Copies of this chain bind each other. A is one copy, B any other.
Amino acid sequence: MTILEAQGLAARNAARKLAVTREGLKNKALLAIADALLARREEWLSANAADLEEAKRNGMRPALLDRLALDEKRISGIAEGVRQVHSLPDPVGQVVKTILRPNGLKLEQRRVPLGVIGIIYEARPNVTVDAAALCLKSGNACILRGGKEAFHSNKAVITILRDALESVGLPRDCAALVEDTSRETASEMMDLTEYLDVLIPRGGAGLIRSVARNAHVPVIRTGEGVCHIYVHAQADLPMAARILYNAKCSRPSVCNAAECVLVDRAVAKDFLPMVWELLQKKNVTLHGDPECRDILGDVVIPATGEDWDTEYGDYQLAVKVVSGLGEAMDFIAAHGTGHSEAIVTENYTAQRQFCDGVDAAAVYVNASTRFTDGFEFGLGAEIGISTQKLHARGPMGLEELTSTKYVIYGSGQIRE
């Protein structure tokens, strides 16, 4: 039995206990975790300092260093996040449906934990706590495999978490860290069908695709987004410009940021110069089709076929002029990733056709795609944004970390 299999078995046993643990005790554990994160923050900070030092030595880029770094304020924020999870309603045991059958059988479809959740993520130490808290509240054990760059930070905080679990009488193995951060353990997790009920990769597109491609454990794909803003001929153009500017520029690195704008030919001449004025403030690079270049000139780089399928994650935007709703929807069907798509229009029928016909986790009318997020949707938390259609689609909160079971109450019924 490998180390990971032993962790899997221990997690499986912990999950059986956790599945029948009442909300009260899970909440007590969450408060204990939040308290311990503050009380033992020096341990976490000094481990993080070791990671940062190593990362600097290895020449990590400043943006990534920033994601890796912890400080007092961030730790307070993370602890506060755990308290928020504590105050969310426990989905486990919720009755989704009740069916009374003519033969007297009473069926109850209840939410139950998924079991053991594996999470593979990159170098953000806060994910370790966020993910463990969400899994705990939803009654799931978790096996966490963070990036090697955050190894010391993760090892320090998992000890704090497990001590807190134990302090309230829950098994330490409700949360475990994979300490060997080599590629081999990632592969082994993808094959750990006996012990993992689901695997959630969190990170860059490369990581997610590789896990989805290679895992035998069921995977939930998250966070790949080539999102479009479609400016319809009957759009309120200043509103469209504000929405596009927000969707592109408020945080370009995230998956719900817009990567491409489609503009109806009828309004392209008015709209493009208007939005260009805003986009210039952030030095956005435009990759446009010939019509866009006719309107805005040489500031626009000619778009190649590749641009239409690129998640820039940066201050870059693809621009295409279209003939109308039909072409826009065909284009989105061909190039979208099913994450978030928006139409800006004052036309009732156009928005209705767009909402019905566009196949994506989130379809917007007259709002920025940046709202696709568990907190913004009012779920109170988020483990990721599913871009697949099975099980969960869009922002995943606690409910999406559950399965269901039918409990059937009889009085001796047999089937004819």
| A403 partner residues in chain B, CB cutoff 8 A | 389-390, 393
Contact A362 B408 (CB under 8 A): yes
Contact B115 A412 (CB under 8 A): no
A42 within 8 A of B: no
User: Which of A45-53, A144-152, A182-190, A363-371 binds B?
Assistant: A363-371
A87 within 8 A of B: no
Contact B114 A412 (CB under 8 A): no
User: Which of A24-32, A58-66, A155-163, A236-244 binds B?
Assistant: A236-244
Contact A414 B368 (CB under 8 A): yes
Copies in the complex: 2
| A218 partner residues in chain B, CB cutoff 8 A | 218, 388, 390
User: Which of A99-107, A173-181, A280-288 binds B?
Assistant: A99-107
Contact B368 A413 (CB under 8 A): yes
**Which positions in A face B, CB cutoff 8 Å?**
16, 19-20, 99, 101, 105, 107, 109, 112, 114-115, 197-198, 213, 216, 218, 220, 236, 239, 242-243, 245-247, 250, 333, 353, 355-357, 359-368, 370-372, 376-378, 388-391, 393-394, 403-416
Supply 28 A–B pairs (Cβ within 8 Å), ascending by A.
A16-B357, A19-B356, A99-B377, A101-B376, A101-B377, A107-B377, A112-B359, A114-B390, A115-B389, A213-B216, A359-B405, A361-B405, A361-B406, A363-B405, A363-B406, A364-B407, A364-B410, A365-B407, A366-B409, A366-B410, A366-B413, A367-B410, A367-B413, A367-B414, A368-B413, A390-B391, A393-B403, A393-B405
8 nearest CB pairs, A to B: A367-B410, A246-B414, A389-B403, A370-B415, A391-B391, A390-B391, A367-B413, A366-B410
